Amino acid sequence: RQSIKETARRRLRDFDVGDKFSRLPLPKASVLLPLLVRDGTLHLLLTVRSMQLRRSPGEVCFPGGKSEAADKDEIDTALREAKEEVGLQPEKVEVICRLVPGIDKMNHLVTPVVGFIEDTFQATPNPDEVSDVFVVPLEYFLKPLNYKPLPYKTSSGYFSWMHCFTYDDHEHKTSFRIWGLTAHFAVFLALVIFGKRPTFEVDYDLDNLLSSSENNFMNLYASLYERKKSNL
């Protein structure tokens, strides 16, 4: 268990972007990517959004949300949201790093914060926000049994593909669909930790993963910025 965690920690720290992108003039949000070791393998904890929510009800996501004035930084936001949504106490999270952010449908700058939690953690979902909590082996995001790329148009009008995984959870006796930004972060996390080629196409240079992911992000941001300017 220690060596699995130690290897993951070491790889993740090489990809820590810190507050490099924090000053971009976009509204901020954060998600926590909670890693745990179960049966000798790394797993990722995910949530299902409550059906009562106005935005994306019933969709799979990581604990997280918009930053608030009292939050010191993106890490603070992710930990506060995880506590509110699934009852995860901030002191029970060993925060490792912040990875390259993404931009969601609402044009929020979303920072993924990676941390280890104990495999004994028992989630207490806040029913107003979360209807279910489950874990997926991290390697599933490189070697899925059920995967298809979905075509979509980016907010700046480009045609692109988005990852979509279907995960059959035997414990819950149900299938979860994991796609969009959540799938994007999960794939990147798996690429960073395992350093292996996935069984599907990704738009990274796998030999230069950090620089290529930063370039991809800055291109996305630039296209959004251009569109904002042209709308003025």
What is the pTM assigned to this prediction? 0.94
- Token output for 105: 């449908």
Measure CA 176 to chain center.
16
CA angle, 190 as apex, 71 and 4 as ends, to 5°? 90
50-61, pLDDT tens digit by residue? 878 677 767 999
Alpha helices in the chain (DSSP H): 2-14, 74-86, 180-194, 209-231
Nearest 10 degrees: CA dihedral of 145, 65, 174, 166? -20
Average confidence score pLDDT of the chain: 92
Q: Is the pLDDT of residue 232 over 60?
A: no
187-225, pLDDT tens digit by residue? 999 999 999 999 999 999 999 999 999 999 999 899 887
List domains and CATH numbers for the chain: 4-231 (3.90.79.10)
- Token output for 109: 């700058």
Taken as a whole, the chain contains a residue count of 232
- Give the pLDDT band of residue 49 (cuts 50, 70, 90): confident
Instruction: Residue 144: name the closest of 187, 99, 195 by CA.
Output: 187
Question: How would you classify the pairing of strands 174-179 and 164-169?
Answer: antiparallel
Q: What is the pLDDT of residue 215?
A: 96
